[in-house]
Structure 1
Amino acid sequence: MRENDTSQTTEHGFEPGLETKAGYETKAGGTGNDVAYAFDEFMRTFEAFKEQNDERLDTLEKRIPVDALTEQKLDRINTALDEQKQVVDQLALKASRPQLGEGGEGASSPALLQHKAAFHSYMRKGETGNLTRLEEKALKVNLSGSGADGGYLVPPEVETAVIRGVKEISPIRAISGSRTVSASVYKKPFAITGPATGWVGETATRPQTNSPTLDELSFPTMELYAMPSATQTLLDDSAVNIDEWLAEEIQLAFAQQEGKAFVTGEGGTEPRGFLDYTTVANGSWEWNKIGYIATGNDGTFDTDDPSDDLIDLVYSLKAGYRANASWVMNRATQAAIRKFKDENGNYIWQPGASAGQWPTLMNYPIAESEDMPDIGSDEFAIAFGDFKRGYLVVDRAGIRVLRDPYSVKPYVLFYTTKRVGGGVQDFDAIKLLKFGTS
């Protein structure tokens, strides 16, 4: 670069104006203008990506090898796209997140106001008398034993905020079905085959229908915990919204643990993830197994037309499930697919229409889960399906907090627990793409 040249390049080494994550953090504070600015920069980076990738594809069509510098430049822009998308998502989430004020949900109820005041006294000062009496009066069952051992229930508005925040952060929870229960196990009968039906005339004989075949699915709830800490000075500060502080501290921890379990959990002390079930080639699919389509190449897409693998996966799903289907994959897999075009020369990956919206692949939204495996030999790196019908998240009502001012003085620990379960409820609603020969 010439000494007097005013142009700049980023740490990724491409044209000015395409800023990285670090650049956003200096300009963005979570306001609407910041979100719009970050999204505009993201879209400009995507245009630069398409231009660079078009050059690469034109070179390949002329049967000329692509030089290493071009590939490196494309990879840098691709990486910057991922970083910028993360920042846009975080800013959009922060801008849309409601605050837990003193006049929150249910604040008009005297019982809830009393419980909230008693809970604040417990959180700030460790006073348990009023909270214990209120829980006993309300006949609330302590899920983990006595209050002294198992903690105390958080106010309903805090529980609602935590669940809402976790849903916004956790990609699988956001697209899955959900149930809130009071028992430790949720059991659900599911009709594998329905009764015979048909059309008949007004006076024609009605033949007897066959009985449906039912399978009872069981979803036990497992204990999930987080342990945020605070100084006594923070707790004594009346300006600190203790509800908001607690919700923000545990949302991310819960979301990270849930997100992993819903994908790869083994179902012992955690929910069972959809990748933990037995898989079978889709042509031989049967109940209690997840069907898959193979790419035909070990560890990669089809070499002639990689987008054909994605089309095959879409149409391996029955039409009734496709209307509300979503993709699930990690960021690295998205980066690979971002280079693909359809037969008309259009990119099949498209960014969200606005900040905070998910990108789409072939017009279906993409839930980005870093717990999905990378593309590799015989890996199931991409899932596609109607997760609302296919996967069920079960929440047991109640989040409990146990205050511990002794273990790590001078800090106060808050052992926070909730019970969550999960598993596949419709095995025909989710399909996988296997990067293997069969």
Structure 2
Amino acid sequence: MKNLIELRKKLAAKQDEMRALIVTAQEEKRGFTDEEETKYTELEERAEELKKEIKLEERAQQLAMGGAATKRTIDDPLHESEFRDLGDIITTYRTKPNDPRLEEYREMAMKTSASGGIFVPPQFSAQLFEVSPDEAIVRPRAIVIPADETAPDADITFPALDQGSGSNMYGGVEVNWIGEGDEKPETDAKFKDLKLTPHEVAGHIVVTDKLLRNSKAVNAIVTKLFRGAISAAEDDAFLYGDGIARPTGAISSGATIAVNRGTANAIKYQDIVSMLAKAKLGGSLVWSASQSILPQLLTMRDEAGNLIFQPNANNAMSGILMGYPIRFSENSPILGSEGDLVLSDFGYYLIKDGAGIYIQASEHPLFKQNKTIIKAFWNVDGKPWLSQPLTLKNGYEISPFVKLDIPKP
């Protein structure tokens, strides 16, 4: 017998490659090149071969089981064929709560600290977290530690570099040139323990019962809205969270350097230069900003009279500022406030995913209005990898997290 799971993984990989070719051509507003056309045709032919191979193997396994349908496990990439999509699961959970297909997902929720509901299979929950660098600022750029299979919400302790007094930017590690026959000196690496504890976070949406009976519509609406809400909520916590029952934000942490602006309620060219001078260069820096700064940013010029920011015509207001991409966040403070412009390298930010996503659907609070509340909840934590700014050998202070502050006397 062949491994159906592996065959389906191979098919999914071929389809992903085909989709990537199409997306690339669409983004560049062109058709396939000759090379891409040949590649796509080869992938298409191989995908068809795999489909036939999978179909034959399914029949063979059904015969071996006496004609019974093959039971797919939760790890099977096509396990979701029992449910077409997230909308199908929600509709079934709401209208047919005793459907036997829901039992394993309900049992999985009961084995965790989740307060009721059903577990959403990875095939569907992944869609809610698969955000691109254009859709979310922090998660696509941070170090993400996946949930452990046996204890997804357990604490995890991560070594954080201690940048305290007497430490250098590598946590006290000293490098020495050693002559032949000389003893190797001991290093004095200084670390702090950084504990990440996934916190529960929930979001909900109200839909009409009429809409709920249309699983395809529910899937389209719920996936789009929850995905956007999850992205915005996480960005807000990962950037500005106070660490109390939620993540510690990069910009509200002790690792952040605040650069005083020269003029109140304004952003000047020199402010941006000063921020860049305090950033740890060499990583993957990205600006995050309030949309309210656009009138000043679009007209800002350097000392030679050149505009310093030109938005990308193919991608709305995204573009490059001083050599690094800029993203406008709905959570950023208004112009003139502390943090209305931020420069960060989120390779120095850790995210610990926990259990979830879980779904609940209840009509009771809005029973008379023929509406249902759909609630999604999951667990996550995040913290900066550093506890304070980095000090270079020459004494100059830098950080992967730099924010524009208000003027100080």
Q: Does 1:197 align with 2:170?
A: no
TM-score by length of 1: 0.62
Correspondence for 2:298 = 338
Give CA-to-partner distance per residue, 1:48-77, whole Å, 9 cap, x none.
xxxxxxxxxxxxxxxxxxxxxxxxxxxxxx
Correspondence for 2:401 = 430
Gaps of 5+ in 1: 1-30, 38-105, 278-287
Q: Does 1:368 align with 2:344?
A: no
TM-score by length of 2: 0.66
Give CA-to-partner distance per residue, 1:213-268, whole Å, 9 cap, x none.
00111232222212223333333336x26544431231222233223222322222
Mapped contact 1:264–1:275 kept (Cα < 8 A): yes
Q: Does 1:209 align with 2:209?
A: no
* Structure 1 CA distance for aligned equivalents of residues 324 and 299 of structure 2: 17
Q: SS at the partner of 1:171?
A: coil
Q: Does 1:316 align with 2:278?
A: yes
Correspondence for 2:200 = 223
Bigger Cα displacement from structure 2, 225-234 vs 406-415 = 225-234
Q: Over aligned residue pairs, what C-alpha RMSD do you find?
A: 3.5
Give CA-to-partner distance per residue, 1:77-99, whole Å, 9 cap, x none.
xxxxxxxxxxxxxxxxxxxxxxx
Number of residues paired by the alignment?
316
Q: Does 1:380 align with 2:351?
A: no
Superposed displacement of residue 189, structure 1: 0.8
Correspondence for 1:142 = 111
Superposed displacement of residue 276, structure 1: 2.6
Superposed displacement of residue 417, structure 1: 0.7
Give CA-to-partner distance per residue, 1:170-224, whole Å, 9 cap, x none.
33334433222222433211233142223334x3313322221001112322222
Mapped contact 2:156–2:195 kept (Cα < 8 A): yes
Q: SS at the partner of 1:150?
A: coil
Correspondence for 2:241 = 265
Alignment match of 2:356 (pick from 390, 398, 402): 398
Gaps of 5+ in 2: 1-22, 30-73, 163-170, 389-398
When residues 153 and 342 of structure 1 are mapped into structure 2, their CA distance, relative to the original with a 3 A threshold, is: same
Superposed displacement of residue 328, structure 1: 1.6
Q: Does 1:125 align with 2:95?
A: yes
User: Percent identity, aligned pairs only?
Assistant: 19
> Which residue type is aligned with residue 216 of structure 1?
D
Correspondence for 1:407 = 365
> Which residue type is aligned with residue 89 of structure 2?
F
Superposed displacement of residue 310, structure 1: 1.2
> Which residue type is aligned with residue 111 of structure 2?
N
> Which residue type is aligned with residue 380 of structure 2?
V
Q: SS at the partner of 1:227?
A: strand
Mapped contact 1:375–1:435 kept (Cα < 8 A): no
When residues 121 and 231 of structure 1 are mapped into structure 2, their CA distance, relative to the original with a 3 A threshold, is: closer
When residues 184 and 247 of structure 1 are mapped into structure 2, their CA distance, relative to the original with a 3 A threshold, is: farther
Bigger Cα displacement from structure 2, 164-173 vs 209-218 = 164-173
Poorly superposed stretches of 4+, deviation over 6 Å: 34-37, 115-118
* Structure 2 CA distance for aligned equivalents of residues 184 and 170 of structure 1: 26
* Structure 2 CA distance for aligned equivalents of residues 397 and 358 of structure 1: 33
Superposed displacement of residue 329, structure 1: 1.4
Q: SS at the partner of 1:366?
A: strand
Bigger Cα displacement from structure 2, 339-348 vs 358-367 = 339-348
Alignment match of 1:185 (pick from 139, 155, 166): 155
